[in-house]
A = this chain, B = another copy of it.
C-alpha cells in the first residue's frame, strides 16, 4: 500500500531524526516506513517503489538493518518473494546491545593504562569507572525493562 500524506510526513520526520545522528537517508527512510506500513511485511520491490529508491539502495540499506538486528526476513510459505519487517522488540534489542558498546569503552579506557598522564590521570580512569558502572547496572536495568514490556503485552 503506497503512502498517504500523513505517512509520508512521518517517514520524513523519522528520517530527519536519524540522519542527524549520521545515518544514511535511505536507511532512515526504510526504518520510518517499516514502522508504519501495512502490512508490516514488505518486499524489497515494494519498499523501492513506495520510497522511490533504487533496488540497489534498498538491498544495501536493508542488509544494514538486518545486520544491526532491527529488521528480519520473513519467509512466507508458497510465496516466492522474501519479505522484510521491523523485528518484534527491535527497539528493546537495540538497548540491550548497548552493553557491548559499554564494554568496548571500558576496553578503550584500560588500553590507556600504559600512557596514563601524571597530570589528571582521571581523564582516562574516569572513563573506565564509568564503563564499569554501566556494565554493572545495565543487566538489571534490562530486566526491569523487559518486565515493563511484559506488562504491556502479556
A74 within 8 A of B: no
Report whether over half of chain A's contact residues are helix, strand or loop; otherwise say mixed.
Answer: helix
Given contacts A92-B126, A114-B6, A129-B148, contact A38 B119 (CB under 8 A): yes
B residues near A114, Cβ cutoff 8 Å: 6, 10
Which stretch in A44-52, A54-62, A75-83, A137-145 binds the other chain?
Answer: A137-145
Known: A35-B112, A122-B153. A91 touches B127 (CB 8 A): yes
Choose from B119, B133, B153 the contact partner of A40 (Cβ within 8 Å). Answer: B119
Q: For the complex, count residues of A whose C-beta is within 8 A of B.
A: 50
Known contacts A35-B112, A115-B6, A119-B39; decide if A141 and B152 are in contact (CB<8 Å). Answer: no
Q: Separation in Å of the A65 CB from the closest CB of chain B?
A: 13
Task: Kindly state whether residue A135 has any CB partner on chain B within 8 Å.
Answer: no
Checking B88, B92, B117 against A37 with a beta-carbon cut-off of 8 angstroms, the contacting residue is B117
Q: CA of A95 to CA of B10 in the docked complex: distance in angstroms?
A: 29
Residues of B within 8 A of A38 (CB): 117-119
A122 shortest CB reach to chain B, Å: 7
| Chain A contacts to B: CB under 8 angstroms | 6-7, 10, 13-14, 17, 21-22, 34-40, 86, 88-92, 95, 104, 108, 111-112, 114-120, 122-124, 126-127, 129-130, 133-134, 137, 141, 144-145, 148-149, 152-153
